[in-house]
Structure 1
Amino acid sequence: MSVEPGWHVDPAEPTTRRWWDGEGWIGAPIPVHTTPPDGPPPPEPEPVGEPPAPAAGSPTAAGQPSAPPWTPNAPGQPGASGAPPDGPKAPGTPGMPWTGQPGAGQPGAGQPGLGQPVHPGAGQPEGHGVGQPGGPPPGWPYPTWPGRPPEPRPHGVPLAGYGARLLARLIDFGVVLLLNAVVNGWFVWRYFEETAPYLREAVRRAMAGDSSREGLPAIGEQAGGLQIAILVIATALWFAYEVPTMASGGQTLGKRLLRIRAVPLDADQPLGFGRATRRWSTMGMPTLLWFCCGLGLLLQFVDAVSALFDHPLRQALHDKRAQTVVVQVPRADDPDTPTDRADPEPQGDTP
């Protein structure tokens, strides 16, 4: 027995009513508690594409009424997201992760649905916003990593740890200090001789509780020149120790012992003299300002700890200026060591 045309409860979605014309559902559904209008709903625009032909022997092909047909993108019924109720959901539909690839014959992720305008997402580049090809559908949030993103691996090797970098720098400071003790020792002794009378008397008065400055011995006339000479020699020794070795191999003695090295961001190659000089000067040149109330030491401290606050490449200020990054030196028996240096990017570690 055929069902008379009229507004009936949709068996696929009991919370809605739809118009049954005697052969199938037509028009958009309405809530079941809403009073239906008189007569059938207005005709809807033709959908894009032709529906598949009914299979031979099916009730529809034999001219018999069948179950209410599935209408793609009809609001309020199962499959409104662009997939049949019991079939696989298209990418970008609720309950399925957005992949950015459209399904076959269906509006997929990154493409506008039927009757939906295309407009770029807020804050997203052209071609990658909401509703744009390559982006999520309209009304969907832009996808992010479902947790902490993977650590970057510049040129296929992991980044150096903060502890290894700090220990390598302390070893290098010790080497430079030994060089200064040999080369700069005489100048330091002469500077102490020029300032010793003043310092002895100032310390004696401080221990006796005397805060007066009258009658203190004058500092020697050569003290100022000796101080400048000491700082210039110390800076030059640091430059001679670090820049040539960093330019050729990206490693000082400390970095070699800790198995880390500095490489350019754009290619796995030696730094070169110019880049190594720019990298060193950010930390080494403030040595000349040590006599300015410790300003040079403050600048060097800020540079040293800046890597702790940089993510994800852990670049200190001298790394940012030279466009370098510090990485671990892989061992020969390390299974993560890239075998093809011509293709340094790791497979599957970055989006």
Structure 2
Amino acid sequence: MPDPLAGMPPLADFGKRLLARIIDIVIVAIPLALIQLAFGTGRYRFDTNQGEDIGEVFSKSYSGSGLIMTLISIVAYVGYDWWFTRKSGQTVGKKAMSLRVAMLNDGSVPNSNASLTRAAVLWLPTLICCACLWPLALIVSILVDKPYKQGLHDKVGKTVVVQAMR
């Protein structure tokens, strides 16, 4: 079987991918934080146990304003990734790091379905239940995958991240 990467730019370096993702998170997180500040909504809350040695407990809230903020966060993160990936294969972070998402089979810009599937697998577990474990699972999947360096989100979207041609 021919190598799908034949004729494509080199695969992206993990460090550049990570920095691109951090840039994208900050771009989405700042407006979300401003929304929370302006409307007093919160996705997270502190519970104080009076008279106990346990102190404050940090927990997710899935009712009232916490549920609304979770839904807004899902739309923001998934929508951001979906929009930019289907448009050009580059989020703002990827563009800053000279990277792009490409379809594994032919190197083209991912279509809307592939972009949405990729974004959903990337963000939904993190935002709904596994904010600590899911990003680690994605990092490990990228680092151990051979030969394409695909994260779990890349595998379901049938994409790879490559160096962008300037």
Query: For the superposition of Structure 1 and Structure 2, which TM-score range results when normalised by the shorter chain?
Result: 0.7 to 0.9
Residue 225, structure 1, aligned to residue 64, structure 2: yes
Q: Aligned partners of 1:260, 1:154: CA distance in 2, in Å?
A: 17
The secondary structure found in structure 2 opposite 1:274 is: helix
The one-letter amino acid paired with 1:328 is Q
Determine the structure 2 residue equivalent to 1:235: 74
Compute the displacement of 1:153 (Å): 4.6
Determine the structure 1 residue equivalent to 2:22: 170
Q: Aligned partners of 2:54, 2:111: CA distance in 1, in Å?
A: 55
Q: Aligned partners of 1:302, 1:230: CA distance in 2, in Å?
A: 25
Which structure has the larger Rg? 1
Which runs of 5 or more structure 2 residues have no equivalent in the other structure?
Answer: 56-60
The secondary structure found in structure 2 opposite 1:224 is: coil
Which runs of 5 or more structure 1 residues have no equivalent in the other structure?
Answer: 1-151, 214-221, 332-351
The one-letter amino acid paired with 2:53 is S
- Cα 1:212/1:175, change in 2 over 3 Å: closer
Work out whether residues 149 and 160 of structure 2, in 8 Å CA contact, stay in contact via their aligned partners in 1: yes
The secondary structure found in structure 1 opposite 2:77 is: helix
Q: Aligned partners of 2:54, 2:98: CA distance in 1, in Å?
A: 55
Residue 260, structure 1, aligned to residue 116, structure 2: no
Which protein has the bigger strand share?
Answer: 2
Q: Percent identity?
A: 29
The one-letter amino acid paired with 2:113 is G
Q: Across the two proteins, how many residue pairs are aligned to each other?
A: 157
Determine the structure 1 residue equivalent to 2:144: 309
Runs of 4+ off more than 4 Å: none
Q: TM-score, normalised by structure 1?
A: 0.41
Q: Aligned partners of 1:231, 1:311: CA distance in 2, in Å?
A: 34
Compute the displacement of 1:270 (Å): 1.6
Compute the displacement of 1:300 (Å): 3.1
Work out whether residues 191 and 223 of structure 1, in 8 Å CA contact, stay in contact via their aligned partners in 2: no
Q: Aligned partners of 1:260, 1:212: CA distance in 2, in Å?
A: 46
Q: Aligned partners of 1:212, 1:170: CA distance in 2, in Å?
A: 33
Q: Aligned partners of 1:329, 1:282: CA distance in 2, in Å?
A: 23
Q: Aligned partners of 1:169, 1:223: CA distance in 2, in Å?
A: 26
Work out whether residues 235 and 287 of structure 1, in 8 Å CA contact, stay in contact via their aligned partners in 2: no
Determine the structure 2 residue equivalent to 1:272: 111
Kindly indicate whether structure 1 or structure 2 has the higher relative contact order, using CA contacts under 8 Å at least 6 residues apart: 2
The secondary structure found in structure 1 opposite 2:64 is: helix
Work out whether residues 231 and 288 of structure 1, in 8 Å CA contact, stay in contact via their aligned partners in 2: yes
Determine the structure 1 residue equivalent to 2:58: none
Which protein has the bigger helix share?
Answer: 2
The secondary structure found in structure 1 opposite 2:162 is: strand
